[in-house]
Structure formats: C-alpha cells, structure tokens
Amino acid sequence: MGVWQFIQEQVLGMKWLNEWIGSGLSMLGLNVNGRVGGSVQFFLYDTLKITVLLCFLIFVISYIQSYFPPERSKRILGRFHGIGANIVSALLGTVTPFCSCSSIPLFIGFTSAGLPLGVTFSFLISSPMVDLGSLVLLMSIFGAKVAIVYVVVGLVIAVAGGTIIEKLQMEKQVETFIMAAGRVDIESPGLTRRERVAYAKEQMLGTFKKVFPYILAGVGIGAVIHNWIPESWIEAVLGSNNPFGVLLATLVGVPMYADIFGTIPVAEALLAKGAQLGTILSFMMAVTTLSLPSMIMLRKAVKPKLLALFIGICTVGIILVGYLFNALQFLLI
C-alpha cells in the first residue's frame, strides 16, 4: 500500500474504524452482512467518521479564518479588479462558513461595503459549494481526483457566475437598504494565538451543534439506501440508462436544506448502488448552494430578477457539471 493510498483509506477514510465496528457488532451477535447489521454498521461508522473529520476540519479552517475577519476580507477584495477579483473572491469563499445560510450575511456585508456585485456573488456561490472541508471529505469518499476536480469546477462556476452578473450590471436589483447602508470600517483588534484557538474551538462547537442533526439524517438515509433499496432501482433512476438523472437530482436537491456534511453519506450510498458520479455531485451541489431556506433569506437582500438570475446561473452550471462528471467517470473512479 502506497503512502497516498494509506492516507486516503486509513487516515481520511478510516477503514480501520469500519473494521473495528464490524468486529464489535459481530461479537455482539449481529450479522453485519445482513440488512439490519449492515445498516447499524454503516450508521455508526459514517456518523463517527464524519463527526471526527468535521470537528477537526472546522477547528483548522476556523483558525485560518481568524486571520481573515470581514473587514480584512473587504480590504483584500478591494485591491483586485475584473476577473481577478472574482477569482480571489471565489477562493476566499473556500475558508468561510459551511452552508449558504451562513454565507449570506457576509455577502450582504460585502455588498453594502461597496464591493462589486459580481465579486460578492462569486463569493456567495463558492462559499457553501467548495469549502476546504468538502475537499477533504470528498477525498475520504471518492478519492483525490474526484475531490480536486469537484473543487476546481465549483470555483469555475463561482467565477463565471459572478462575471456574468457583473457584466449584466444588476446593481439596481439589490434591495435599497443594502446599497444605502454605506461603508463602515471597524478595525478588528489583533488576536493572540490563545484567542485564535479559543475562537476556533467556539466555531467548531457551534457549527457541530448546528449541523449534527443533518449528519444523523444524512447517515440514516444513506444506511437505508445502502442496505434496503435494491441496486436495480437506483440504477434505473440515477444510473447511466437515465439521461435525465442529472436534471432529476438537481431538482430534488434544491428544496432541501443541508450542508456538505449531511449530503456525503447519501452520496456514498448512492454511488455504491450504481448511481452515476455526476448525478450524485449535481444533487450535492444543488442541496448546498440552492437550498430553499437560503433562497428565502437571499430574497430579502436582492430583488426577484437578480434572485432568478442567480438561481438560473447556478442551476445551469450544476447540470453541466453533472453531465461532465458522468462523461468523465471512467477516468476519475
């Protein structure tokens, strides 16, 4: 076993944990090859694995994020212009909150501070879709190639979406109170190392409490798919024989509200049952980027025309990504 394979399978994937849980359940008399035993093993393994990775990632990313408070982020973005600003904004989104509802307040702050609308939308698209946490978690499930291509394509969608909105000059479609808020610069005091650690710990606990119910729900759904739903059903609906699988997955994902951590166990189970990779990723992107609660919150900041344009750009991008990954699946997995 090579070093990278060991990292992917034993460090990120925690295959050893799955073996321990399986051995423990077998000692208790539970048949892990049966439906009930397999469901229990899947639920315990994925819950523990995602929880450990979640807490570690949030702590590390929050520590990094402590160096980029909103005021500093605004100054950084203000130094760039044109597509370069969109790229920097999309990259900044990778080290910020883990769901779209958490990203919207930052988007409002950036917009009211006078940053170009296209730049702030690049941030809004990338933040929930391609944060660093999703990169590591996707590596643990699908491998490095899939995770890296997913993040790169997500950043391309964010940059392209923000650029389109910028070119269409949609500033009048932002609610008046946002544009009239004016620029308020409040310099954040410098933090000591101990304060950064405390901040990271606080963010880790707060985010964990918020997303853990979605993890449990996602793992529970994944366990049912993995052990109770026939493979032929999944292949018929989301497999290569259904050319509309990507469209269906995107439409199903939009009304839901979860973050990347809640969708990954569902994606893992669907892939094992024969669903196509691009179809699964389209579902994940739709859930994390275009959830109904986040669209309701965003509507308070932008007018219907701009909201519809944002949804349209993201939807088209997600669908194109789905078909692209389906076409390249033989190269990635």
Q: Which pLDDT tens digit goes with each residue over 54-105?
A: 888 888 878 887 887 767 777 777 788 888 889 988 988 887 655 666 677 7
Cβ contact 18:45 at 8 Å: yes
Question: At residue 1, does pLDDT exceed 70?
Answer: no
- Is 84 a domain residue? yes
User: For residues 10, 13, 15 and 21, what is the CA-based torsion angle, rounded to 10 degrees?
Assistant: 130
Q: Is residue 327 part of a domain?
A: yes
Identify whether 201 is part of a domain: no
Which pLDDT belongs to residue 333? 76
- pLDDT at residue 332, rounded to an integer: 85
Q: Quick: pLDDT tens for 157-183.
A: 999 999 999 999 888 888 887 766 555
pLDDT, tens digit (0-9, with 9 covering 90-100), for 29-62 = 999 989 899 999 999 999 999 889 888 888 887 8
pLDDT tens for each residue of 101-148? 667 777 887 887 778 899 999 988 888 788 777 788 788 888 888 888
The answer to whether residue 26 scores a pLDDT higher than 90 is: yes
Residue 242 covered by a domain: yes
Helix, strand, coil % over all residues of the chain, rounded to 5: 80, 0, 20
Helix intervals (H) in 190-276: 193-228, 231-238, 245-253, 260-272
Tally of domains in the chain: 1
* Distance from C-alpha of 197 to C-alpha of 199, rounded to nearest angstrom: 5
Average pLDDT over residues 175-200: 71
Tell me, yes or no, whether 155 lies in a domain.
yes
Query: 269: domain range?
Result: 75-182+213-332
- Residue 95, domain member (yes or no): yes
Nearest CA among 267, 216, 274, 214 for reference residue 241: 274
CA dihedral sign of residues 231, 287, 260, 282? positive
pTM: 0.81
Residue 324 resides in a domain = yes
Nearest CA to 259 out of 63, 103, 41 is that of: 103
Tell me if 245 is assigned to some domain: yes
